[in-house]
Amino acid sequence: MEQVNPTRMELIQKRAQIKLAEQGRDLLREKMDALIQEFFRIMGSVSRSREELEGLAEDAYRALVIAQAVDDPVALRSVSFATRKQIVLDIGGKNIMGVPVPLIEKKRFAVPSLERGYSILGVSGRIDETAERFESEIDLIIGLAETETALRRLGHEIQMNRRRVNALEQVLIPELKAQAKYIKITIEEREREDLFRLKKVKKILNRKKRGRSLAGGETAGKV
């Protein structure tokens, strides 16, 4: 055990610390409950979007295979030059119970055939369909990036909180309680020792007093 001064002051301090730690633990537990609730709420939408993404990716890949097979991969590469552009997104942030999570701008990348940058007269519907599927996939991935990041951060925060609660509950509070108990026992022991010592002194003093009074009586008899 950590060296502590077994004083009343220290005991008061330790008791205050225990109270504070218990309050902290309760607060952290409440926060964890709220985080878990939020976590499960987001997880529902993430798993739905994940399933949707898997279906969409499978569709897009299938469309790509057919377009490559019928139109030649070289034709697809050529068309991709015409549609090549950067994806620019604004990313902000918000707080969920003190956990910073990203807020990604919702932008639709799926565009009508006429706005893709190539002539629809020279591009087959298969290629168009492939582009459409992949654009929808990008839309979903961007949405999913926001919720998945939020989910990951919430999960991390829940884990951290659990560790903190466990540290308070399993280590700090028991240690403080043990220290307080030790101080209390030590103080009580000291009090008992003091009492015993006082009784002992009183006894000695009484004995001395009695001895002196006996000696005084003998002298008076002789006189």
Partner 1 sequence: MDLGYINARVRGMHSRLLGQKDFDVLMIQKDIPSLASELEKTPYKDEIQEASVLYPGLKGIETALRMNLVHTCQKILSLVEGSDAEPLVLIILARWDIHNIKTVLRGKHVHVAPEEIEGALIPAGTLGEPLLREMIKQPDVRGVVDLLATWEVPYARPLTQCFDEYASSRELSVLEYALDRFHYEYAHSLLEGNKEDHEVMRKLLQLEIDSLNLKNALRMNRDKVDTGVAEGYFLPGGEHIPLEKFSALVSAGRIDEIAENLEGTPFAFLAPLVPEAMRTGKFSVLEKELDKYLTKKGSGVFRSDPLGGAVVIGYLWKKQNEVVNIRIIARCKDARISDAELEEELRHV
Alpha-carbon dihedral sign for residues 184, 188, 189, 190: positive
Closest CB to partner 1 among residues 77, 163: 77
Q: Which of 35, 38, 60, 132 binds partner 1 (CB under 8 A)?
A: 132
DSSP character string of 18-58: HHHHHHHHHHHHHHHHHHHHHHHHHHHHHHHHHHHHHHHHH
- From candidates 92, 112, 217, 221, binder to partner 1 by CB under 8 A: 112
Burial pattern 165-174, b for ≥16 Cβ within 10 A else e, equals beebeeebbe
In whole angstroms, the minimum distance from the beta carbon of 53 to partner 1 comes to 18
CB of 21 to partner 1, least distance (A): 59
Nearest approach, Cβ of 83 to partner 1 (angstroms)? Answer: 9
Whether residue 147 contacts residue 45, with contact meaning beta carbons closer than 8 Å, is answered with yes
What's the closest the beta carbon of residue 135 comes to partner 1, in angstroms?
12
Identify which of residues 73 and 174 has a Cβ nearer to partner 1 in the complex: 73
- Residue 7 token pair: 């004083």
**C-alpha separations of 198 from 186, 203, 208 in Å:** 18, 8, 15
Amino acid at 31: K
Binding mask 50-89 for partner 1 (x = CB under 8 A): -----------xxx-xx-xxx-xxxx-xxx-xx-xx----
* Shortest CB 72 distance to partner 1, Å: 7
- 129 binds partner 1, rule: CB under 8 A: yes
The size of the interface with partner 1 (CB under 8 A), counted in residues, is 34
Three-state DSSP state, 103? strand
Contact pick of 13, 49, 124, 186 for partner 1 (by CB under 8 A): 124
Contact 102, 146 (CB under 8 A): yes
Instruction: In angstroms, give the least distance from the CB of 122 to partner 1.
Output: 5
First-last CA distance in the chain = 67
- Positions touching partner 1 (CB under 8 A) are 61-63, 65-66, 68-70, 72-75, 77-79, 81-82, 84-85, 112-114, 117-122, 124-126, 128-129, 132
